[in-house]
A and B are shown apart, each in its own frame.
Chain A
């Protein structure tokens, strides 16, 4: 009797294990990206589809945990940044092989860094490491020891390695030999990418089982968001990494358990005025836009709560700073949110000699206040935001004209011809460290949107921002850097060269059959822990 019972328990266990295995074996994860990856070279990644490929295939020394926002060891088991912030030493994991069986060593790290820092490559990832003139030196001090020395100190140096996928120095397969959880098995341009499980992936779960759990990943190239949603609802794909507010609400109404709102993201929507002295605008308009009071008044008269509530259906919150509250460490929590106050706006404008005349706001010289805002055509949210801002400004006697342009034309105006008055745009933020925003905040930066590439700072407050940004870039103490960045946030809040409007939520759709999913606000929101994801009917998310 006892024997039979043990046999039955054993049989049940084997069957259950078998079922578990069968749920995993041959499992395939499916999702969509909007376009073909522009490159399969991990060093040249600059677009989201290519970033997806790099994230699935690339093995990195350190990985930023998208949930805790802390760095974690991957191919490096330990690391140390030097006191002067110019060098970083890694101790590498041993007994690791690339997907094609080539062994991984410090020589591969040196090879990758040398390729990455080649000035003729113009790698965006490599440019993040470029703090000054000079050569990057790699010192291999052992099979598993390497030190990389940079010509100048780099703020947040270790975090930058999250983006550096290590390439093999010896493999004939070049960038196709990878250290990440998957390798690219098939690619049909315009149609799909197929990734198979890397048989040599080094990571194991707590039970000693080799990761990743899912055997293959198929990514379909689907530019149409509606079709992507339709396919998700039919169960043809397992998740949608980034959902807009309208689709989120549609999905939440039909299948509430699949729609996930991970709260406010890193991305911000903002508006700025053209302050380029050489722009082809009339002098009186240049004077308006250069006035901090004018910008402040415009900011005060925009009802951000309404933008979040109406345009983003409540899936956004009024923006306070150029750093989103989702950026846990760097956001200045002490900043007061901009209040919507028409009366205060008119009083601020009066300080500059603006006055209302028959419902029209006029400047000191009698010019009616009227300007246009450009935004990219086809972005419904921006078009709706512009329409609402138009209404808000009409209430204080300002006439706003909304002009939508295709993206290249818009870029031509804001970077080359400067033939625009105001611009409404959103910047995608992938990096937590504010050092990645140097080209936006330094007055000499190409992305200093309101008045780019200045030879000397045009205003005292821009000079102050320059000094603070340089200080944070040269300081290694994280808390002292934070103090400098907080001051920049406060100056930007007072001067409003960029009028921050809203921070949209990070939203996703996730199938119930996907397990171990924890949607976060950092990209890639759903599959940041791709090697831990599993497919099966058992277990809850």
Chain B
């Protein structure tokens, strides 16, 4: 996990460092600045020219708990993360709760009812939400003065719905489930005792993936809905070519993804073994 984490940060740093115009400040065009100040401004990025040296120097500081100072926001990265991470956790938590509640409920309704009209309506709703770009959804919420955090739920919902519906439908068509139904077992009992246990491990894996999806969705949503979280910070860091901050954010997102997926895998493992 540590190797993946370091690699993720290194790739992020490399991409930003190689982007054209890296290490250039708009302040250079300030006509008031003296020649010495312009040169000092240019020199301030000189240490970052050698990427491996910059990166390993950076890592050694990181191991000592020093996350550095954001070049674009001129504030300690640790402070920025402490202020903004709770906001993103709130947005992502709320969004995931909404997405799972709606996605799983509608998937169950679609599979269990076996009515074409419900299948069509839920599928249509999910397709529409899948087609509308995240930024458009966020803007609609801004115009409607609705809480922007809910947009994350609407972005993640269709993915959860489609995956969950397919998994549940596949489980529902297994011979023992069909037999149970044929013997007159109640819908809820079939779902709880025969369908969900089979689909459980995959649904847990989906839970891990949905966390990554929600974090990715947080970037446009927080930018457009003016939520001061990690997503907005990542956007500002990218625009300001803030290498140090971007590396930390890349590593943070990598860490969240890894923890979420590993956690899901860890929980799903005993279930799979039980099935076997």
Contact = CB atoms under 8 A, between A and B. Distances in A.
A415 B28 contact: yes
A190 B33 contact: no
Given A46-B27, A122-B37, A439-B32, 16 more contacts: A35-B236, A38-B72, A38-B74, A46-B30, A47-B27, A127-B32, A189-B84, A190-B233, A224-B224, A230-B142, A405-B20, A405-B21, A407-B21, A439-B33, A446-B35, A447-B31
Interface in A435-485: 436-440, 446-447
B26 A411 contact: yes
B24 A408 contact: yes
Interface string A31-49: 0000110110000001100
Given A406-B21, A437-B31, A446 B38 contact: yes
- Ranked 6 nearest A-B pairs via Cβ: A408-B21, A190-B228, A409-B21, A191-B228, A122-B37, A408-B24
B141 to A, nearest CB: 11
A119 B84 contact: no
Interface string A402-444: 0001111111100110000000000100010000111110000
B32 A227 contact: no
A154 to B, nearest CB: 13
Nearest to B40: A122
A6 B226 CA distance: 55
B226 to A, nearest CB: 6
A538 to B, nearest CB: 29
B165 interface: no
B167 interface: no
B73 A36 contact: yes
Interface string A126-142: 01101000000000000
Contacts of A351: none
A411 B24 contact: yes
B167 to A, nearest CB: 39
Interface string A222-250: 11100100100010000000000000000
Interface in B66-100: 72-75, 80, 83-84
A127 B37 contact: yes
Interface in B164-185: none
Interface residues on B, range: 35 or more
Residue of A124, A125, A408, A440 ringed by the most chain B CB atoms within 10 A: A408
Given A127-B37, A409-B21, A447 B29 contact: yes
A188 B34 contact: no
B223 interface: yes
Q: Interface SS of chain B: helix, strand, loop or mixed?
A: helix
Nearest to A191: B228
B196 to A, nearest CB: 41
Contacts of B58: none
Contacts of A125: 32
Interface string B10-28: 0000000000111010111
A189 B72 CA distance: 12
Contacts of B31: 427, 436-440, 447
Contacts of A39: 74
Contacts of A431: 32
B83 A189 contact: yes
Contacts of A224: 223-224, 226
Residue of A191, A407, A437 ringed by the most chain B CB atoms within 10 A: A191
Contacts of A47: 27
Interface residues of A, number: 45
Contact of A410 (B21, B74, B145): B21
Nearest to B75: A189
A274 to B, nearest CB: 16
B232 interface: yes
B241 interface: yes
Nearest to A220: B226
B46 interface: no
Q: Interface SS of chain A: helix, strand, loop or mixed?
A: mixed
Given A189-B84, A190-B236, A446-B38, A411 B29 contact: yes
Contact of A230 (B21, B143, B236, B241): B143
Interface in A157-206: 188-191
Given A189-B73, A190-B84, A408-B241, A124 B30 contact: yes
Interface in B227-250: 228, 232-233, 236, 241
B108 interface: no
8 contacts: A122-B33, A127-B32, A189-B73, A234-B145, A409-B21, A427-B29, A439-B33, A447-B29
B34 A127 contact: yes
Nearest to B235: A223
Contacts of B233: 190
Given A122-B41, A189-B83, A190-B232, A407 B26 contact: yes
A395 B78 CA distance: 58
A92 to B, nearest CB: 26
A431 B40 CA distance: 24
A227 B29 CA distance: 29
B30 A411 contact: no
Interface string B193-215: 00000000000000000000000
A123 B84 CA distance: 30
Contacts of A223: 223
B136 to A, nearest CB: 13
A46 B84 CA distance: 25
A446 B41 CA distance: 13
A412 B20 contact: yes
Nearest to A188: B228
A218 to B, nearest CB: 14
A411 B34 contact: no
A234 B145 CA distance: 10
Nearest to B39: A446
Contacts of A446: 28, 33, 35, 38
Contact of B83 (A122, A188, A227, A411): A188
A124 B32 contact: yes
B47 interface: no
B36 interface: yes
B24 A412 contact: yes
A226 B5 CA distance: 38
B242 to A, nearest CB: 12
Contacts of B26: 407-408, 411
Given A38-B74, A122-B41, A446-B35, A409 B20 contact: yes
A412 B45 CA distance: 14
Contacts of A406: 20-21
A223 B75 CA distance: 19
B182 to A, nearest CB: 57
Residue of A127, A190, A191 ringed by the most chain B CB atoms within 10 A: A190
